[in-house]
């Protein structure tokens, strides 16, 4: 989370400072309309910068992953950039459109323009000024549509497949807003640092938008596969799917995830990989829980032999740190990345790790738990099973009581966000370094 905050505030503050080198919040003479002019420019540039970076992150680029801690963290940054776009875009609209309405209603009096000929304009500036009316109209309606789609994306109850389809429309709207920005940004900005950075962001965002519109997101990381086995655990409402992969899969680390497309109409869904990588047997396993309409239908819609597309791998929740002592907490379906790591450790018996795995769960399946116990034994990992109505709940106090040397360990958590935050805050209050608590933020919206 620290890197997400640094990236977000670094962009907003950094671009604000660059803008301040080119303009001022205190224009002279200071009046409502002179202030309005600079604030329309400032809020527009910040809104488009945030939307540009959000657009670039939406196409799942590989290079920022290690810097931001994985694609799950990148998507959290993408979300906050979308919110920033909404906030600054709304401010931009209020200053721009609201002022025009206030003048039309007689609430404000627009100052008269001075007489005389203005400075002679260059060819490019003349061309841009000739497009101002069109740019304002298109930008206004693109803004309205963008607001609606961003709000829908933030509503968790909005179905995922509709979210994915409508989110693609944002790429087209972004290109309209790029035109709006290029025409209406103060021409003098383009020769200054703020203009150069803005131009680079607009180019990067436009390329990403075209990639989304032409359905090229993750194209180089996609391979075809065929479902080999399907195993249901009715007590847990869980389905285990094993997929044989065609050539092209680069291999994966335990803890990573992939996007799987089993239906073109539904689109790609992200799932944590629950198997170790064996190059001699190219296959992956996913464990999915019925948490929504799509995952609830999987046992009926998937069949052995079906062809699917797998894109990935993504993520940095890979158990790699400088600690030989680790504590894992896989709550409910959050056990999935740990299952993959158990299988990987079983293939590497010489690894010198001391590991305790806590598995809190509200549900119990003897078949699934027997498999988990066998995997933990093969990996040399101590398993702590906590079924809610039998063994009570896990909290920081209980963890510290059961693991006396917990401060020597790194904590790896996957499960409900609120549960993870409560554990992190409790352990940090008792001396755990924040950098030693690793949490997967497996929410794509």
Nearest-10 Cα torsion for 290, 292, 298, 299: 40
Answer for the pair 407, 432: CB distance below 8 angstroms, yes or no: yes
Q: What is the pLDDT of residue 287?
A: 92
Beta bridge partners of 409: none
pLDDT by residue, tens only, the chain of 445 residues = 688 999 999 999 999 999 999 999 989 888 898 999 999 999 999 999 999 999 999 999 989 998 998 998 999 999 999 999 999 999 999 999 988 888 888 788 777 665 555 566 788 888 888 899 999 999 999 999 999 999 998 887 777 778 888 889 999 999 999 999 999 999 999 999 999 999 999 999 999 999 999 999 999 999 999 999 999 998 888 999 999 999 899 999 999 999 999 988 778 889 999 999 988 889 999 999 887 778 888 889 999 999 999 999 999 999 988 888 999 999 989 999 999 999 999 988 667 789 999 999 888 888 999 999 999 999 999 999 998 778 888 999 999 999 999 999 999 999 998 999 999 999 999 999 999 999 987 666 6
pTM assigned to the model:
0.89
CATH classification code of 2-111+118-213: 1.20.120
Question: Where are the domain boundaries for CATH 1.20.120 in the chain?
Answer: 2-111+118-213
Please list, in sequence order, all residues whose beta carbon lies within 8 angstroms of the beta carbon of residue 54, skipping any fewer than 6 positions away.
78, 81, 82, 85
d(CA 168, CA 164): 7
* The pLDDT value given to residue 412: 97
Contacts of 201 (CB under 8 A, 6+ apart): 48, 49, 52, 53
pLDDT of residue 141: 97
- CATH 2.40.30.10 in the chain, residue ranges: 220-314
How far is it, in rounded angstroms, from Cα 317 to Cα 340?
12
Integer angstrom CA distances of residue 418 from 68, 264, 334, 338, 441: 21, 33, 13, 20, 11
Segments of the chain assigned to CATH 3.40.50.80: 325-439
CB 342 within 8 A of CB 379: yes
Q: Does 3.20.20.450 match the CATH number of domain 220-314?
A: no
**At a CB cut-off of 8 Å and minimum separation 6, what does 198 contact?**
15, 45, 48, 49, 181, 185, 189
Q: Cα-atom radius of gyration of the chain, to the nearest Å?
A: 26
Cα gap 416→159, rounded to integer Å: 20
Which has the closest alpha carbon to 403: 434, 357, 360, 443?
A: 357
Q: Going by C-beta distance under 8 Å and a sequence separation of 6 or more, which residues neighbour residue 236?
A: 289, 361, 363, 364, 365, 368
What are the phi and psi torsion angles at 210 (to 5°)? -65, -40
Q: Are 92 and 16 in contact (CB under 8 A)?
A: no
State residue 292's pLDDT score: 75
* Options 3.20.20.70, 3.20.20.60, 3.40.50.80, 3.40.50.180; CATH of 325-439: 3.40.50.80
d(CA 17, CA 155) in angstroms, rounded, equals 33
Report how far apart, in Å, the C-alpha atoms of 427 and of each of 1, 364, 398, 421 are: 17, 28, 11, 10
Calculated CA dihedral for residues 87, 85, 259, 336, nearest 10 degrees: -40
Buried b (16+ CB within 10 A) or exposed e, 262-275: beeebbbbbbbbbb
pLDDT at 444: 60
């Amino acid at each position: 989370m620290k890197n997400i905050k640094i990236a977000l505030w670094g962009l907003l503050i950094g671009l604000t400072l660059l803008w301040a080198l080119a303009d001022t919040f205190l224009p002279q003479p200071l009046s409502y309309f002179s202030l309005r002019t600079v604030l329309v420019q400032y809020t527009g540039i910040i809104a488009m910068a945030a939307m540009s970076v959000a657009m670039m992150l939406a196409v799942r680029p590989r290079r920022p992953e290690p810097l931001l801690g994985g694609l799950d963290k990148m998507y959290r940054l993408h979300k906050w950039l979308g919110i920033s776009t909404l906030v600054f875009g709304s401010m931009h609209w209020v200053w721009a459109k609201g002022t025009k309405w206030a003048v039309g209603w007689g609430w404000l009096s627009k100052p008269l323009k001075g007489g005389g000929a203005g400075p002679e304009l260059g060819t490019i500036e003349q061309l841009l000024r000739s497009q101002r009316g069109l740019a304002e109209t298109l930008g206004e309606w693109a803004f309205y549509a963008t607001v609606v789609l961003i709000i829908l994306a933030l509503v968790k109850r909005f179905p995922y497949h509709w979210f994915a389809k409508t989110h693609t429309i944002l790429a087209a709207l972004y290109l309209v807003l790029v035109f709006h920005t290029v025409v209406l940004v103060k021409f003098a900005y383009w020769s200054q640092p703020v203009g150069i950075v803005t131009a680079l962001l607009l180019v990067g965002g436009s390329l990403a938008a075209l990639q989304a519109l032409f359905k090229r997101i993750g194209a180089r990381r996609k391979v075809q596969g065929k479902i080999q086995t399907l195993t249901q655990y009715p007590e847990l409402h869980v389905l285990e799917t094993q997929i044989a992969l065609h050539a092209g899969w680069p291999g994966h680390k335990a803890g990573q995830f992939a996007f799987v497309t089993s239906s073109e109409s539904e689109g790609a869904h992200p799932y944590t990989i629950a198997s170790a990588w064996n190059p001699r047997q190219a296959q992956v396993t996913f464990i999915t829980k019925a948490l929504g309409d799509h995952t609830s239908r999987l046992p009926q819609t998937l069949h052995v032999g079906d062809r699917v597309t797998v894109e990935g791998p993504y993520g940095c929740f890979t158990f790699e740190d400088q600690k030989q002592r680790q504590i894992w907490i896989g709550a409910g379906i959050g056990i999935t990345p740990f299952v993959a790591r158990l299988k990987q450790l079983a293939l590497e018996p010489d690894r010198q790790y001391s590991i305790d795995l806590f598995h809190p769960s509200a549900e119990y399946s003897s078949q699934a738990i027997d498999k988990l116990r066998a995997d933990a034994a093969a990996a040399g990992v101590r398993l702590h099973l906590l079924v809610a109505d039998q063994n009570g709940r896990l909290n920081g106090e209980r963890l510290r009581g059961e693991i006396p040397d917990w401060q020597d360990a790194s904590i790896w958590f996957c499960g409900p966000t609120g549960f993870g935050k409560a554990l992190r805050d409790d352990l940090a209050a008792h001396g755990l370094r924040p950098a030693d608590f690793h949490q997967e933020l497996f929410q794509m919206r």
